[in-house]
Structure 1
Amino acid sequence: MIQEFRLPDLGEGLTDAEVVQWLVAPGDTVALNQTLAEVETAKAVVELPSPYDGTVTTLHAEAGDTVEVGAPLIAFDVAGAETADAAQAGAEPADAATAANTGDASDAGEKTPPNLVGYGAAPSSKARPARRARRAAAASTPTDTAVLEAAPHDVLPDAPASPRIGDRPRSTPPVRAYAKRLGVDLVLVAAEVGDRVITRDDIDAYAERIGGQTDRPAPAASQPSAFGDASERETRIPIRGVRKHTAAAMVQSAFTAPHVTTFHTVDVTATMDLIASLRADRSLSEHRIGPLVVVAKAVCLALGRTPGLNSRWDEEAGEIVQPHYVDLGIAAATDRGLIVPNIRDADGMNLPQLADAVSALTQTARSGKTSPADLAGGTFSITNIGVFGIDAGTPILPPGQSGILAVGAVRRMPWEHHGEIALRQVMTLSLSFDHRIVDGAEGARFVKDVADILEQPGRAMILG
């Protein structure tokens, strides 16, 4: 019996998702919970597991297509037909998902949907997904390992390459777009490079071998351009996915909350000495404790004295909500745009724990695997502009938060110290806050508390 799998609600009221790549093709046999595709929502890239054991019959969307929540995504030929969806006449797959989410196992039958937002917990399956099996086999092959280590920059190091399904070549979305622009058939390239990830260099080499018969645009020799391809006057980039969501959120925040930004430059020499001593401690060598981690700890301590900066404005209820915890957002720049995943209950962590949480958060964000749940519910945020060599800025509040702190670069410069001029390490803090909730005095007190801890880390022992 043919069963349709419709795009589920992937969380936070998201209305659609873009198909990044299919990991299966019509005719493939799939197991329950085997990954079918990667889709990009307005917040993150999500892997969609299969809700059925069966054979793929139809893909209702191509890679790059945007699919509405509830629209058919893929169809299966399911043996037995006694599935959760067919248990009730005329019921849609989304109805079974709702039943699983409410925990009503009697309505879900033996095959409940996978563990997605809007679905219940994933059932155990004895069948190992083919993708994982192939990945495990590849890990044991020295040749494949060498290829992955030598892959050019087009292959993201943090994200495992997708398997080749049937005649579908293995490549990343930017490489597929590049090949399409040049008119190169990736199937023909794959026939030459074998079963490994295709890169831009492979496409260029193939184009040269066929004697320049592709429509590859050549730059104008007489008018070289610093912007790349001089034969085209402009490049149009679709606004979608994470970037579209970020833009809408920033516009909403900028025109809803009255922003005020205050700046303070602080001598962080003592903090940098502390970091150096912690890094030299062998018992802490596994934890990457840096300036951002110490600032995060200082922020958590300072928020205890200025709870307004850890609050949100509830327009409908006519209330200011003050959480008794800190879910600390750390802004992360990714290839898909800026996202702000959160560290849950950061106020209860020590420095090593915060360092591990920041490292895990950053790696997950860069690989595009941050879940929608990790992007929601933050109470205060930090953005580290110092990694770009920037001293100060005016950050925009994430929607629903009343404060965000920009951390500038640490610079060595002449500074007044104990009545004399000395070379010291200094940093600028930039705090933006919602003036509906926080007044200037409270904002200044918060920045001063953070600065005092960074100037004298020992103050963390007495600040309360």
Structure 2
Amino acid sequence: MGQSVKEFRMPDLGEGLTEADLVSWRVDVGDRVELNQVVAEVETAKAMVELPSPFAGTVAELLAEPGTTVPVGTPIIRIAVTTEGPHGTPDLHDTATAPPTPVLVGYGPGAAPVSRRAARTPAPAEPSTGGHSAPHLHTEPHRPDAKPSARREARRLGIDLTAVAGTGNGGVVTRSDVRRAADLGARTEPGHETRVPIAGVRKRTAEAVTRSAFTAPHATVFLTCDVTATVDLVERLRAHPSFADRHPTALTIVAAALLHAVADQPVLHAAWDQDAGEIVTPGHVNLGIATATGEGLMVPVIRDADILSLPELAGAIATVTATARAGRATPADLTGGTISITNVGVFGVDTGTPILVPGEAAILAVGAIAPRPWVVDDALAVRDVVTLAMSFDHRLVDGEQAGRALAAIGGVLGDPVPALLGR
């Protein structure tokens, strides 16, 4: 029985991703790790992902620093494992690019992570190799004990974690601690310049919107409409048993109205396939819901949204947005959309001109719903009013189609019950 050192390479996380940002290590050199124990957290263009170890053994070397972008296939960690056989000569060429079973977060089971404090053991002594050089064991400088969310926030704000006092259990640095330190620094050092690396979701968002803006010719149509009936309906739905724990909101009705418009104008969720020279219209609508998170803008997708009942649609919107905000959305949760909604009204603004999600033909922006003077039966009245904006890819969608679709959405919001009876 001997030992060998195996390398774990940055795995292919799917959906054409070629790299990921290493957010934090969950282990240190000398730690004992078990099969499928989470050893690192990485951030892709789509989501935060925990990486489980494909080996059981002792951490010999960490090959990448937190905050760096690592291409797929690049070695990130070396683990000394026990091997059967008469020689036990360390083999530095043993590698792994993915766990033996699909255990990435969101795709299957995984062993619970083992505490670094309990797991820490001295690095194993290297066996006699008869002339072979022993693997180099990299000793990492002291890293403060911090939650992954705190490490992400520190990286985003440019905060040195070693200078942050932790208030979590055992002195663990929390995200709130990092934000408190950032606020304190802003108060005590006015005018201090900060520099934050362009990485993670912010980097990928920038790449996506730039690609979208320079690939698809954008055009936008606007509509201001009376949504008093929608606001009233939402209050009634919240008291209905079929919506228990499903959190219906005005966005639920807006989404339903958009799905009705897509049924009449399928080109709104078509795709332009330049290579094939074809316009591709999917059989079902995969509805993206733009969501502001602590890591930046994400667009989780509700698959086959057009076949959901209204209660199911309400529950799905609540679920995907909560999952994204909690940082638990997987790459699969954030891809495959065919049309999207962005609710800029939650920030108190009237509306905006949204940029298309790359590959999609249309996106609907929903402004703030507010009481305003409105003409009803030739008389002024106070009504709940909203402004909608629909941006579209003018290669696929004509102004007439977009205009008719937006008017139809406004019609449903003005009198939602007849349209929703068909769901």
**TM bin (shorter chain):** 0.7 to 0.9
Retained in 2: the 8 A contact 1:31–1:128? Answer: no
Aligned residue type for 2:54: P
1:169 matched to 2:145:
yes
Name the SS of the counterpart of 1:243 in structure 2: helix
Q: CA deviation at 1:252?
A: 1.1
Q: 1:185 to 1:451 in 2, by over 3 A?
A: closer
Of 400, 403, 411, 1:444 maps to 403
Q: CA deviation at 1:193?
A: 7.5
Alignment root-mean-square deviation, CA: 3.5
Retained in 2: the 8 A contact 1:34–1:131? Answer: no
Retained in 2: the 8 A contact 1:267–1:425? Answer: yes
- What's 1:229 paired with? 189
- What's 1:44 paired with? 47
**Per-residue CA shift, 1:45-72, capped at 9, x if unaligned?**
1100111122211111222222221111
Matched residues in 2 for 1:217 and 1:58: separation? 36
Of 63, 66, 87, 1:63 maps to 66
Matched residues in 1 for 2:34 and 2:242: separation? 44
1:322 matched to 2:281:
yes
Matched residues in 2 for 1:250 and 1:178: separation? 20
Q: 1:18 to 1:269 in 2, by over 3 A?
A: same
Of 20, 25, 50, 2:23 maps to 20
Name the SS of the counterpart of 1:43 in structure 2: coil
1:130 matched to 2:114:
yes
Name the SS of the counterpart of 1:130 in structure 2: coil
**Per-residue CA shift, 1:147-172, capped at 9, x if unaligned?**
xxxxxxxxxxxxxxxxxxx9852341
What TM-score comes out, normalization by structure 1 length?
0.75
Q: CA deviation at 1:204?
A: 11
Of 2, 7, 26, 2:5 maps to 2
Aligned residue type for 2:73: G
Of 248, 264, 267, 1:289 maps to 248
Q: 1:182 to 1:196 in 2, by over 3 A?
A: closer
Q: What are structure 1's unaligned runs of at least 5 residues?
A: 98-110, 135-165, 208-215, 220-224
Task: Note the 1:230-249 alignment, pairs <5 A.
Answer: 230-232=190-192, 234-249=193-208
- What's 1:115 paired with? 103
Retained in 2: the 8 A contact 1:262–1:431? Answer: yes
Of 344, 348, 351, 1:385 maps to 344
Q: 1:181 to 1:367 in 2, by over 3 A?
A: closer
Retained in 2: the 8 A contact 1:170–1:195? Answer: no
Matched residues in 2 for 1:424 and 1:23: separation? 54
Matched residues in 1 for 2:325 and 2:420: separation? 35
Q: CA deviation at 1:128?
A: 5.0
Name the SS of the counterpart of 1:263 in structure 2: strand
Matched residues in 1 for 2:303 and 2:385: separation? 29
Q: CA deviation at 1:301?
A: 1.4
Q: CA deviation at 1:181?
A: 5.5
Retained in 2: the 8 A contact 1:24–1:36? Answer: yes
**Per-residue CA shift, 1:23-65, capped at 9, x if unaligned?**
1112222221111111111221110011112221111122222
Aligned residue type for 1:173: R
Matched residues in 1 for 2:184 and 2:233: separation? 54
Task: Note the 1:240-319 alignment, pairs <5 A.
Answer: 240-319=199-278
- What's 1:405 paired with? 364
Matched residues in 1 for 2:420 and 2:51: separation? 47
**Per-residue CA shift, 1:158-210, capped at 9, x if unaligned?**
xxxxxxxx985234116756999569466xx56x98614325887999x9xxx
Matched residues in 1 for 2:301 and 2:168: separation? 41
- What's 1:33 paired with? 36
Q: CA deviation at 1:15?
A: 2.1
Q: CA deviation at 1:359?
A: 1.3
Aligned residue type for 1:410: I
Matched residues in 2 for 1:424 and 1:267: separation? 7
Q: CA deviation at 1:116?
A: 4.0
Retained in 2: the 8 A contact 1:35–1:131? Answer: no
- What's 1:198 paired with? 173
- What's 1:75 paired with? 78
Q: 1:397 to 1:128 in 2, by over 3 A?
A: closer
Q: CA deviation at 1:334?
A: 1.6
Retained in 2: the 8 A contact 1:41–1:242? Answer: yes
Of 361, 368, 374, 2:333 maps to 374
Matched residues in 2 for 1:204 and 1:388: separation? 21
Number of aligned residue pairs: give it. Answer: 390
- What's 1:335 paired with? 294
Task: Note the 1:338-353 alignment, pairs <5 A.
Answer: 338-353=297-312
Task: Note the 1:426-445 alignment, pairs <5 A.
Answer: 426-445=385-404
Matched residues in 1 for 2:92 and 2:29: separation? 26
Retained in 1: the 8 A contact 2:247–2:318? Answer: yes
Question: Which stretch of structure 1 is more off in the superposition, 305-314 or 417-426?
Answer: 417-426
Retained in 2: the 8 A contact 1:217–1:229? Answer: no
What TM-score comes out, normalization by structure 2 length?
0.82
- What's 2:127 paired with? none
**Identical amino acids, percent of aligned pairs:** 47
Q: 1:81 to 1:428 in 2, by over 3 A?
A: farther
Matched residues in 2 for 1:295 and 1:128: separation? 41
Matched residues in 2 for 1:252 and 1:338: separation? 16
Retained in 2: the 8 A contact 1:178–1:200? Answer: no
Name the SS of the counterpart of 2:83 in structure 1: coil
- What's 2:131 paired with? none
- What's 1:151 paired with? none
Aligned residue type for 2:325: R
Q: CA deviation at 1:229?
A: 3.3
**Per-residue CA shift, 1:74-129, capped at 9, x if unaligned?**
111122369xxx9x9967423xx4xxxxxxxxxxxxx8244349xxx76x78x654
Poorly superposed stretches of 4+, deviation over 3 Å? 88-92, 174-186, 199-205, 216-219, 461-464
Name the SS of the counterpart of 1:409 in structure 2: coil
Name the SS of the counterpart of 1:273 in structure 2: helix
Q: 1:431 to 1:81 in 2, by over 3 A?
A: farther
Matched residues in 1 for 2:198 and 2:20: separation? 13
Aligned residue type for 2:190: A
